[in-house]
Amino acid sequence: MGARKAIVSGKPDIKHVSTSHNERQNNTMRMSMRRFTRLTNGLSKKLENHEHPLALYFMNYNFARILQTLRITPPMKAGDIDHVWSLEEIIVVLR
């Protein structure tokens, strides 16, 4: 893994704040995982059973999925990794 980046923070101009990116991510997640669609019997009743698929989803989404706009993964764009991760690499990290 590459060097850690500094945290950037500040005071955003409220006129330019938008939730559209968050809403798009929520929609993508909901459409990608059956447990988030309504009227399903795949609902997790235990928090732990809910956390594991979420961790797998986000690791796969960020580390193993090449974004169409970037043509690489977000961590590759940030310089944190140098290759697209395999499912085996993700499982090792999540254990």
Q: Give pLDDT tens digits for 43-85.
A: 667 888 888 888 888 899 899 999 888 899 999 999 999 999 9
Q: What is the pLDDT of residue 72?
A: 93
Is 76 domain-assigned? Answer: yes
Torsion, CA 51, CA 55, CA 61, CA 63, rounded to 10: 170
pLDDT, mean of residues 36-44: 65
Please say whether the beta carbons of 56 and 87 come within 8 A: no
Buried b (16+ CB within 10 A) or exposed e, 59-89: bebbbeeeeeeeeebebbeeebbeeebeeee
Is 7 domain-assigned? Answer: no
Is 84 domain-assigned? Answer: yes
The number of distinct structural domains making up the chain is: 1
Examine the pLDDT at 2 and tell me if it is beyond 60: no
Is 10 domain-assigned? Answer: no
Examine the pLDDT at 5 and tell me if it is beyond 90: no
Is 2 domain-assigned? Answer: no
Residue 60 CA, chain-centre distance (Å), reads 7
Is 5 domain-assigned? Answer: no
Is 12 domain-assigned? Answer: no
Please say whether the beta carbons of 90 and 17 come within 8 A: no
Residue 62's domain comprises: 18-94
Establish how many alpha carbons lie within 13 A of residue 27's alpha carbon, considering only the half-sphere containing its beta carbon. 6
Examine the pLDDT at 42 and tell me if it is beyond 90: no
